[in-house]
Amino acid sequence: MANKQMTVGPKEGAVAGVLAMGIFTVFIPMGVINFNPADPFLTLWAMNVLVGCFTIGSGIAVLRAKD
């Protein structure tokens, strides 16, 4: 077998950054401890989770895309 070196390129670095951004976006609203259920907090939380899932999905799509 030939010795093939595996390196991390800019694509993998971008994917790591996008995935981290998506994970942070999902967990940002959970930093709020005291909230009133009458506030639009639940809507904000749901929108952040949705945006975070889309961001994670886009990172996975970039990872699986062909060069």
Residues 6+ apart with CB under 8 A from 25: 48, 51, 52, 55
Prediction pTM value? 0.75
Residue pLDDT, tens place only, 3-42: 777 777 888 889 999 999 999 998 887 777 666 666 777 7
Q: Tell me, what's the pLDDT at 57?
A: 95
Spatial separation of the C-alpha atoms in residues 2 and 30, rounded to whole Å: 49
Task: Give the domain ranges of the chain.
Answer: 40-67
Residue scoring higher pLDDT (37 or 46) = 46
* Residue 30 token pair: 């959970």
Q: Tell me, what's the pLDDT at 53?
A: 95
CA angle 8, 14, 16 (to 5 degrees): 80
Residue scoring higher pLDDT (30 or 56) = 56
* Residue 41 token pair: 């907090």
